[in-house]
């Protein structure tokens, strides 16, 4: 199971960066980077709302957190649907308490060159990546303002710097960096920070699927990607979870409106 790989890679850390247990919401947390972030925040002592489209798909992440002694609940919601978001946050408040940590990890790709990209693919990527982040932040920030403490982290990408065949995704991920900076300015006076983490090439269960889609063997695809990374290796989910956990901690209270690239170098 890929969750075992997360644990081996350090997705669940025994080193806590958080001084106060909180309630954290992690979107897109059923698998991959989102699951690793959820597990790391749970290891830091936070209660975790594992949110994804399919509640059943969240079961593995919730079970892993509970097996390690943490608290977690699975929550299903389409983050681009306002009513579903509000209902999900209400469930979280009832089940775990008011959320004061939000990690906006959920996102999708619909790749294509500009002359081939459909309006539907453009709109869907914007709907999930940008609208979804906005609606989740809007719903959770009220609880943060009431607590006079909050942490918002959005997952951007090195694609924000421009990449062939991802005009929609690159635009959305660049937009999320602006979102974090604007939220930092607006919410900072309430003790709330907002930052972005921009991963580069990270090995997840989707990596092999990407290699297949571009018509390469996994070994060749991995070698080509690693050749571009100054660190000389692909990123792992734990490489992303660590910086996110720091930004969600008490110690990061004066880090606000920043973009942290997790890419093994200036670009991956």
The residues annotated with a catalytic role in the active site are 169
Q: Which of 82, 85, 17, 18 is nearest to 51 (CA)?
A: 85
Question: Taking the chain, what is the end-to-end CA distance rounded to the nearest angstrom?
Answer: 27
CB 165 within 8 A of CB 111: yes
Distance CA 43, CA 14 (A): 6
Residue 28: alpha-carbon gap to chain centroid: 7
Distance CA 26, CA 41 (A): 9
| 138 contacts: CB under 8 Å, gap ≥ 6 | none
CB 36 within 8 A of CB 237: yes
CB 3 within 8 A of CB 70: no
């Amino acid at each position: 199971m890929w969750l075992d790989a997360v644990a081996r890679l350090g997705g669940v850390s025994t080193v806590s960066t958080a001084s106060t247990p909180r309630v954290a919401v992690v979107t897109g947390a059923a698998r991959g980077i989102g699951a690793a972030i959820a597990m790391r925040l749970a290891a830091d002592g936070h209660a975790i709302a594992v949110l994804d489209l399919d509640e059943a798909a969240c079961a593995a992440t919730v079970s892993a957190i509970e097996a390690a002694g943490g608290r977690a609940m699975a929550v299903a919601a389409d983050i681009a649907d306002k009513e579903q978001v509000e209902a999900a946050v209400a469930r979280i408040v009832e089940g775990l308490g008011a959320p004061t940590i939000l990690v906006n990890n959920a996102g999708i790709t619909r790749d294509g060159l500009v002359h081939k990209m459909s309006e539907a693919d453009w709109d869907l990527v914007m709907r999930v990546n940008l609208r979804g982040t906005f609606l989740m932040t809007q719903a959770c920030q009220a609880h943060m303002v009431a607590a006079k403490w909050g942490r918002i982290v959005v997952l951007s990408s090195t694609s924000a710097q421009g990449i062939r065949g991802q005009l929609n995704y690159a635009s959305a991920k660049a937009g999320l960096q602006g979102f974090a900076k604007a939220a930092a300015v607006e919410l900072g006076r309430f003790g709330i920070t907002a930052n972005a983490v921009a991963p580069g090439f990270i090995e997840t269960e989707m990596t092999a699927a990407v290699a297949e889609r571009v018509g390469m063997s996994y070994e060749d695809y991995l070698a080509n990607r690693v050749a571009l990374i100054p660190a000389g290796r692909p990123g792992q989910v734990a490489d992303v979870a660590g910086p996110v956990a720091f930004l969600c901690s008490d110690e990061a209270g004066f880090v606000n409106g920043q973009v942290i690239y997790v890419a093994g170098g200036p670009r991956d």
